[in-house]
Structure 1
C-alpha cells in the first residue's frame, strides 16, 4: 500500500531523530515537518514543489541539544502555534538540559524558557511526550508534559504573561513513567486526556468542566497496570460515533479499546493486532482513501505493521515498502504536503543507531477525499476539535490531533477518504467550547478551512494547495 518516496527528502542527514510534529512553522499557511534531532540539529522540512528542504534557522535547529519530543499549539492566542521541544539527556528523573518553548516574536523565534521571568518554571525532568490542552475551550492552549519519574506539568500563560505550571490546580500533578498522550473530548464534552504509562497504570483524565480533571482509568477499564505503554491514537474503530483508543505496549499485548458505552472500554484487539512488538508510534489514518481508517504500528528493529477494517474485522494488510524490517523507528507522522489528497507518512529513526528519515506515499487510486481544517476563534488550528463527515449512510469521525501519541504530533487536519462516493451530505465541526457548525453538501477533493465564526459571519474557505506532485 505504501511506496518509498524518500528521494524527495532533499535534506536528510543520517543522524539520531525522534519525534515529528506537523505545524506551520514559517507562517505561509502550509504545514511543515518539525523533526527532533538528538545530539544533532532539529530539522524543519518544507515541501517546495520537487521535494522537502530544511528551512530551520539556527535557533530552531538548536544543534547539540538532545531533542526527543515535539508538538505545537497556540499558547498565547495570537493565531500562530508555538512549538514545544522536549530535550531529554537521561532515562528518568532529573536532567541537565531544559526544554525549549519557541514563540514567534518580532520576526524571530524566541525560547520563552530563556526569558528571565520563566527560568524558574523550566522543566528539568525527563519528559517523553507533550500535548496541547485547552481546558476550557477558549482557544488558548497549555502544554502538557508527560515526565518519566517526575510530575506531570501543564504550562499555561498567566495574566502577567509568565509561564506557570498549573498541573496541581488542574488535578494533573501525578508522577509515573509517562509515555504517550492523546487529548480530545473522549468521555466528556470538553478536552479529556489519556496517558499511556510505563511501570504503572494508565491515566484517563476526565474534564470536569471547571478547569480540573479526575482520573477515571480504573473505572473505565483502561488502566492496564501491568503493561508498558507507548504510542496511542484515537479513532472510531467500529463506527458507532464514540471514539475508541488503540495503543501499543512495549513488548506486551497491544490494545484496541472500544468505548462500549460512554466512559466504559473493552479490549477487542485481534491476535494479530495484539501481538507483542518493540512498538513506538501508533497512527490511525485512511491511507488509501477508501473511507475506513487503517492502523499503523511503527516498531524499532522489527517490521512495521498495517491493519485495515475489512469484512467486519481488523485484518493485517500488505504495508508495501514501509515494512522496514531493519528500521530503527523512533517516531512517525502523517500529512498531505503536496496537496494531492493522499497522505504521506514520514518515519524517524534513531536511539540505537543513526539512520536517515524515510518517506512513503500511498499508492495512487481514484478514490475521492475531503480534508477539513477547523480554526480557533484566534485563527490557529483547533487542536482537539471533532469533525464528522456524513455520507452514504455512514458517519466518519476524526479528532484534530493535539499530540503526542508518542513523541509526535500529526497534521491538524481531518482527512476523510470517500471511496468511489462523490456525494457528501454534510460536515460537522464540534469545537472544544461546545460550539458547532454544519456545512451542507461540500464538494469532494478539496481542503475546507472552517473559521470559528462560520455560521455567524463567515463561510468555509475552500483552500487548495499551491503545489501539485509533478
Structure 2
C-alpha cells in the first residue's frame, strides 16, 4: 500500500513538469512572435525609410546634364519673342562700355508681382546701371512696367528713380497691408520700397549696409506671420582688385583679376527679422545662416523636411551650395 505523502509528492512533480513544459512552449511561441515582429518591422522600415544620398551620387529625378535626347514623338515647345509687341523693348539695362570690373559683368534681375492689385502680374526690371567710372546719374534706371491685362505693358512713370548697379529683386508684403512691397539688391545697394496702395516709395526701415548684395528672398522663418528678408552677399569686391593686376584662372581660362569672383573674399549673407512694427533686426549670424564661406547668388525658402518651419537653400558661385534646416531656435547647416 502506497504512502499517501509519497503519492501526493509524485502528483505535484507531475503537475510541475506539465506546467514547465507549457511555460516553455509559451516562451517559445512568444520568442517566435517577437522575432517575426522584429523581422516584419525591419522590412517595413527598409521599405519606407528615406534613401540616403552621398555627394556626387546621381539622383533619378535630378540631373546635372544640360541637354538630353527627347523621344521622336515628344512635342517640341515653341517660344515666340514678344518683347517689342508687349512694350518692353525700350528698357535699357546698362550705359557705357563694359570694362574688366565684376559688377559690370554680372547680369541683373527681374521680378513679377501684382503691385496694383488688379489681378495680373506686373514686371520690375533691375538695371545693371553702367560703367562704374561714369557718374551715377548717367546710369540706366531700374523700371517698373504695369501689366495692362491685354499682353502689353506700360512703364510706370511715378516709380522712384533708381540708378544702381543692380542684381536682384523680390516682391513681398512685409507690413501685411495687402499690397506687395519690393526689395532690391545690387553692388553697394540694398533698398526697400513700400507700396502705398499702388504707389511705391522708399522705406527707411531696412538697414542699408555697404556690400555686394545679389539674390533676395522673402519668407516667414520664425512663424510669427510676417515676412522676413534674406539677402545674399556675393564678394567683398574692390574695383582696384586689392592692388592685384595680374591675370587669374577661372575653370582653366585666363580672366582679368577683377572679373574673377575667386579673387575676392566672400561677402556674408544677411537675415532681416521682421519685428512686426515696421522695423527689422539683422540676425543672420545669430541664427546660423550668414554663410560666410559662400559667394552667394540666390536663395530659396522652403519647408524641406515638412516640420512646419521654413528651411533655407542658398546657391553659391564657385563655393559649395548650402542647405540650412530650421530647428526652431537656430538653423543647422546640413
**What TM-score do you get using the length of structure 1 for normalisation?**
0.42
Q: Could you say which structure has the larger radius of gyration?
A: 2
2:332 to 261, 266, 272: 266
Alignment partner for residue 236 of structure 1, among 303, 312, 330? 303
- Tell whether 2:215 aligns with 1:180: yes
Match of 2:194 among 156, 167, 182: 156
Aligned length: 218
Give yes or no for contact 2:230–2:270 (8 Å, CA) kept in 1: yes
Post-superposition shift, 1:157? 3.7
Q: Which residue of 2 aligns with 1:192?
A: 228
Output aligned runs, 1:107-256, within 5 Å.
Answer: 108-112=152-156, 115=157, 117-118=158-159, 121-150=160-189, 152-158=190-196, 162-166=199-203, 168=204, 170-187=205-222, 188-198=224-234, 199=236, 200-256=267-323
Separation (CA, whole Å) in 1 of partners of 2:88 and 2:170 = 19
Q: CA 1:132 to 1:221, structure 2 compared with 1: closer, same or farther past 3 Å? A: same
For 1:54, what is the secondary structure of its paired residue? coil
**In structure 2, what is the equivalent of residue 86 of structure 1?**
126
Structure 1's 75 and 197: CA in aligned 2 closer, same or farther, altered over 3 A? same
1:63, CA displacement in angstroms?
A: 6.2
Q: Which structure is higher in RCO with an 8 Å CA cutoff and minimum separation 6?
A: 1
Q: What residue is the counterpart of 1:54 in the other structure?
A: 81
Q: Distance in 1 between matches of 2:228 and 2:78?
A: 37
Structure 1 CA distance for aligned equivalents of residues 310 and 131 of structure 2: 32
Give 1:92 shift.
6.6
Give the superposition deviation at 1:261.
2.0
Q: CA deviation at 1:211?
A: 2.6
- 2:170–2:184 Cα contact (<8 Å) kept: yes
Q: Are positions 1:101 and 2:144 aligned together? A: yes
The SS at the match of 2:145 is strand
Q: Alpha carbons of 1:178 and 1:50: their partners in 2 closer, same or farther (altered >3 Å)?
A: closer
Matched residues in 2 for 1:221 and 1:194: separation?
Answer: 12
| 1:304-356 deviation per Cα after TM superposition (whole angstroms, max 9, x unaligned) | xxxxxxxxxxxxxxxxxxxxxxxxxxxxxxxxxxxxxxxxxxxxxxxxxxxxx
Structure 2 distance, partners of 1:238, 1:213, is: 27
Q: CA separation in 1, counterparts of 2:69 and 2:177?
A: 40
Q: Which residue of 2 aligns with 1:360?
A: none
The question of whether the paired residues in 2 share the 8 Å contact of 1:192 and 1:204 is answered with yes
**8 Å contact kept, 2:296–2:316:** yes
**Structure 2 contact 233–268 (Cα < 8 Å) conserved:** yes
Cα distance, 1:105–1:249 mapped onto 2, change above 3 Å: closer
Aligned to 1:252, the other structure's residue is in SS state coil
The C-alpha deviation readout for 1:114-161, integer Å capped at 9, x for no partner, is: x2x44xx211111110000201233310121012112x11223436x6
Would you say the 8 A contact 1:92–1:125 is kept in 2?
A: no
Distance 1:127 1:90 in 2: 10
The within-5 A match list for 1:69-468 is: 69-90=109-130, 94=136, 96-105=139-148, 108-112=152-156, 115=157, 117-118=158-159, 121-150=160-189, 152-158=190-196, 162-166=199-203, 168=204, 170-187=205-222, 188-198=224-234, 199=236, 200-262=267-329, 264-268=330-334
Q: By how many angstroms is 1:90 displaced?
A: 4.1
**Structure 1 runs not aligned, ≥5 long:** 8-47, 269-470
- Judging changes above 3 Å, is the alpha-carbon distance between structure 1 residues 129 and 192 closer, same or farther for their aligned structure 2 residues? same
SS of equivalent residue, structure 2 residue 327: strand
How has the CA–CA distance of structure 1 residues 183 and 62 changed in structure 2, closer, same or farther, with 3 Å as cutoff?
same
Partners of 2:178 and 2:112 in 1: how far apart? 13
Q: 1:181 to 1:6 in 2, by over 3 A?
A: farther
How much does 1:171 deviate? 2.5
RMSD (Å) for aligned C-alpha atoms:
3.0
Per-residue displacement from partner, 1:351-400 (whole Å, max 9, x unpaired)? Answer: xxxxxxxxxxxxxxxxxxxxxxxxxxxxxxxxxxxxxxxxxxxxxxxxxx
Q: Which structure dedicates a bigger proportion of its chain to helix?
A: 2
Q: Helix, strand or coil for the counterpart of 1:143?
A: strand
